[in-house]
Amino acid sequence: MQHAAHHDPGRGGLLRSSVHLDVGPLRIQLRTDGTAPVRYSAPAYAGFFSPAAPRPGADPLAVLPMDVAFGKSSVPARPPFWQIGQSWAVWEEGTDLLCLAGFHAPDSAFFGCRVARDLSRAELAVDPQLPGSVPGQMEAPLRYPLDQVACWGLLSRIGGALLHAAVAVKDGVGYVFAGRSGAGKSTLSGLCHAEGWRILNDDRALVFRRGGAWRVAGTPWHGSGRFAEAADVPLGGIYFLQQASGNRWEPISLSQARLALLDVAAVPWFEDSWAQGILDGLNRLVGDVETRRFHFTKTPAAVQVLTLRQDALRAAACA
């Protein structure tokens, strides 16, 4: 993989500009030579991108320093050991992983990221001929899917996970509604929003522990409802969605909850240490947090059932 020339700023080199992507407790520090300002103009990233000093708040639990430069990323001649269509793929490069995204030609990709397995460092090359790019600027150099891949690695270090799930907040507590595409996450999010609930995201939720307690964060990777708020709140429960003709709760066993979580969790199977960290976190999650299946209708009545349950849980906690 070829990169534009750059050096470590700690050695008096060229790198001197640093911006941040913060997703929940994760921070990706994007370091450039300062000649091309980094921008994220997409509204979904607005709250997650810090162009100067990081926004005040809790300290990150995991940080990945990533050196970013314009450059071509060559596609290795050998087959990747993990590939998702022509969207992105992973190769082993000694102690590093080489992740390429945007295969626009047989021999190169729009984005190439070399990341150490231990998440101590990463290098990102962005094709200067990327369609839609603005001369003299770096528009969203780290973006989907490579930003998610980096977050998977960081989450493995703290026992967290990224779930295919919506996050709805009532009275300061977040409730996760999990399911695959088509399960109704965005629909239920819209119904909850109409009833005054706060929606952090309608498609991807990040769960993690801080100070011994589970929390849930919004992410920039939204669904059709386009909810993407950069915030995290205490986690009140995880509910697996099932569309039905009526609204009801179904208790599930711990083993059922583990299987259901595996069905909606992003597990980086291409790297054993990353995958194991997330699996360990999921196993702990089901033992700590309430999990149920929610059979629901696509009507406001579903939100009434949710509200009644959350009110009952809060009353029981205060008793």
pLDDT at residue 3, as a whole number: 35
User: In this structure, is residue 1 part of a structural domain?
Assistant: no
Q: Please check whether residue 296 is in contact with residue 175, taking contact to mean a CB–CB distance below 8 angstroms.
A: no
12 backbone dihedrals φ, ψ, rounded to 5°: 75, 25
User: In this structure, is residue 181 part of a structural domain?
Assistant: yes
> Which residues have CB under 8 Å from 85's CB, separation 6+?
none
Q: Please check whether residue 294 is in contact with residue 177, taking contact to mean a CB–CB distance below 8 angstroms.
A: yes
Question: Helix or strand or coil: residue 259?
Answer: helix
| Weakest mean pLDDT among 13-22, 100-109, 130-139, 207-216 | 13-22
If one counts every other C-beta atom within 10 angstroms of the C-beta of residue 13, the result is 12
125 plus 238 within the same structural domain: no
pLDDT at 311 over 50: yes
201 plus 135 within the same structural domain: no
Query: Could you give the CA distance from residue 246 to residue 317 in angstroms, rounded to a whole number?
Result: 28
User: In this structure, is residue 23 part of a structural domain?
Assistant: yes
Q: How confident is the model at residue 134 (pLDDT cuts 50, 70, 90)?
A: confident
Q: What is the mean pLDDT of residues 64-71?
A: 96
* Residue that terminates a domain, selected from 134, 156, 178: 156
132 plus 199 within the same structural domain: no
Q: How confident is the model at residue 106 (pLDDT cuts 50, 70, 90)?
A: low
Give pLDDT tens digits for 8-50.
434 334 446 899 999 999 999 999 998 899 999 999 999 999 8
Per the structure, the count of domains in the chain is: 2
117 plus 213 within the same structural domain: no
Give pLDDT tens digits for 141-151.
999 999 999 99
32 plus 135 within the same structural domain: yes
Give me the CATH number covering residue 214.
3.40.50
Q: DSSP for 106-164, please give it.
A: TTEESEEEEEETTSS-EEEEE-TT-TT--TT-EESSS-TTHHHHHHHHHHHHHT-EEEE
Please give the residue range of the domain that contains residue 56: 9-156
179 plus 302 within the same structural domain: yes
Query: Could you give the CA distance from residue 142 to residue 130 in angstroms, rounded to a whole number?
Result: 13
Q: DSSP for 261-290, please give it.
A: HHHHB---TTSHHHHHHHHHHHHHHHHHS-
32 plus 141 within the same structural domain: yes
At 9, list the tokens. Answer: 């700023």
pLDDT at residue 105, as a whole number: 65
Element (H, E) at 256: helix 254-264
265 plus 146 within the same structural domain: no
Give pLDDT tens digits for 257-298.
999 999 999 999 999 999 999 999 999 999 999 999 999 999
* Residue that terminates a domain, selected from 156, 180, 195: 156
Specify the higher pLDDT residue, 225 or 4.
225
Query: Could you give the CA distance from residue 264 to residue 288 in angstroms, rounded to a whole number?
Result: 18
Query: Could you give the CA distance from residue 213 to residue 45 in angstroms, rounded to a whole number?
Result: 26
Query: Could you give the CA distance from residue 283 to residue 254 in angstroms, rounded to a whole number?
Result: 9
- Average model confidence (pLDDT) across the chain: 91
